[in-house]
Homo-oligomer: A and B are copies of this chain.
């Protein structure tokens, strides 16, 4: 049985974390450097942004974990270490300095950065901060680590679950940062997940690659694919379960637990999107193919017009139909149904591609809640998908329109 537990990335046995202010940011009250460390070597897997403009840390991490193993994650906020001249050098130096102090190989370090792009990143505060970062490592360090990777996030994002594999109790947990920066720039998502389950590098990679297609790839705050996105998972095997090395029942349980963590983080990221007042969840059913389901769900969640309507609690279902129509999926308009649902109730607004009479008052009551489900039934088959997003608000414009100072 799976259950939610406390601890985030420190919930899994043998993982320690810390977060400090090292001086990349001017605001001394904001932590800007985080570390996650495992007492034992870990299987490691990661997925990265598809943006051709990539942060230097992405390339370094990709090289480092190409052998399928890692031991530590270091991440700074305040500077994305992207589109500058010394990016690769600074990322490599960070790994080397950290590895020296930890007594591990630099090739076992996952390095990440988030913040403004196009500025040189000075290694000095990082190098000077690493001893303190290591000395503060603790089983209770997840909160500080989660804070150290935040930019304009308004809430720390951490989650963990406990599950069983091969007769052993295992744990998996993660932290995430969502969209925005103190110098507003581009939404860069970072997710670090730890587990004490024993999972082979291959199976870890398979589980992660399969999972993100239904989770992080179905998340959008503003349609801008970042240069620095990264989701990394470390599995240290300290739960004592037999190594998961094939797609057996234990693998299925692990994948399910991973999904519980990633879906929870997706929801947290969407709900805390820049300027957001509402979490939007588009649930598509009745699709003829899985890809049609996904295309439709993602198209709806990305529509600026629908996002603005949701901010205004306006049951403007024509915008849902419009977004379905341009999604690229082959749909039959005449079989589409749309409903809105929240804690306040559920209301059908469109059936067979045309409007149905509905109470605008009830619709508004439903849409005034802060978690809204947009239910789309394509009436064509048995496939379904979910996508997450948020409303488009004045504050999104404010956060991203303010002059960098």
Query: CB < 8 Å: which of B311, B322, B396, B403 contacts A51?
Result: B322
Looking at chain A, what size class is its interface with the partner chain?
35 or more
B50 touches A308 (CB 8 A): no
Cβ of A304 under 8 Å from chain B? yes
A325 touches B364 (CB 8 A): no
Query: CB < 8 Å: which of B82, B317, B325, B398 contacts A54?
Result: B325
Tell me the A283-336 residues at the B interface (CB within 8 Å): 302-305, 308-309, 311-314, 316-319, 321-326, 330-331, 333
Describe A's contact surface by its main secondary structure: loop
Interface centre among A302, A323, A350 (most CB of B within 10 A): A323
Segment touching B, from A224-232, A264-272, A340-348: A224-232
Cβ of A400 under 8 Å from chain B? yes
Cβ of A390 under 8 Å from chain B? no
Cα A264 to Cα B190 in complex, Å, equals 43
Cα A278 to Cα B321 in complex, Å, equals 29
Task: Give the residue name and chain of the B residue nearest to A330 (CB).
Answer: B52
A53 touches B403 (CB 8 A): no
B85 touches A354 (CB 8 A): yes
Contact with B along A382-404 (1 / 0, CB 8 A): 00000000001110111111111
B318 touches A185 (CB 8 A): yes
B353 touches A319 (CB 8 A): no
Cβ of A186 under 8 Å from chain B? yes
Copies of this chain assembled into the complex: 2
B226 touches A322 (CB 8 A): yes
- What residues of chain B lie closer than 8 Å to A317, measured between beta carbons? 118
Cβ of A137 under 8 Å from chain B? no
Cα A184 to Cα B316 in complex, Å, equals 9
Q: A318 and B354 in contact (CB under 8 A), knowing A223-B223, A400-B305, A400-B308? A: no
Task: Give the residue name and chain of the B residue nearest to A305 (CB).
Answer: B224
Cβ of A217 under 8 Å from chain B? no
A324 touches B223 (CB 8 A): no
Cβ of A153 under 8 Å from chain B? no
- What residues of chain B lie closer than 8 Å to A305, measured between beta carbons? 184-187, 222, 224, 400
Q: Shortest beta-carbon distance, A206 to chain B, in Å?
A: 26
Cα A321 to Cα B117 in complex, Å, equals 10
- What residues of chain B lie closer than 8 Å to A83, measured between beta carbons? 318, 321, 333, 350, 353-355
Q: Please, could you name 30 A-B residue pairs with CB atoms under 8 Å apart, sorted by A?
A: A52-B330, A53-B321, A53-B353, A83-B350, A84-B354, A84-B355, A117-B321, A117-B322, A118-B317, A118-B354, A118-B355, A119-B355, A184-B305, A185-B319, A186-B305, A186-B318, A186-B319, A224-B303, A227-B321, A305-B400, A308-B397, A309-B400, A311-B401, A312-B401, A314-B401, A314-B403, A392-B400, A392-B401, A393-B397, A397-B397
